[in-house]
Amino acid sequence: MANIKNLKKDINYVLGDIIEAVYLFEMSTTGKPTPETNALIDEAIASFDTLIAKVNAKNVENKKAHFKQINADLEQAANQLVAKINELQ
């Protein structure tokens, strides 16, 4: 079960860092939230909720493949969010 715990921590840290990057962008440019940055934060929170729900799913046939897919989904979501942050600049 330690792997599940680490996966949850990874999800939390990665998406938390992305949200922090959005806040830093806001502080360094406008000093206040914009509709675009609010949308990015909402998308990161939605990704977090989706991934945690997948981790907590109980009726999984092949757990190893399931958790590998969650890890891949996390990487894909993080890459997409980082690309969107970079487009803001």
pLDDT (tens digit per residue) in 58-71? 998 998 999 999 99
Domain limits for position 62: 2-88
* Helix 63-88, helix 35-55: angle, nearest 10: 170
Q: What is the pTM of this model?
A: 0.90
What is the number of structural domains in the chain? Answer: 1
CA–CA separation, 88 vs 18, rounded Å? 13
pLDDT surpasses 90 at 2: no
Confidence of residue 9 (pLDDT cuts 50, 70, 90): very high
Task: Give residue 73's pLDDT band: very low, low, confident or very high (50, 70, 90).
Answer: very high
The arithmetic mean of pLDDT across residues 60-88, rounded, is: 93
Please say if the pLDDT value at position 40 is more than 90: yes
Q: Which residue has the higher pLDDT, 17 or 3?
A: 17
Distances in Å between the alpha carbon of 84 and those of 3, 55, 61, 89?
A: 30, 25, 35, 9
- pLDDT, residue 88, reads 86
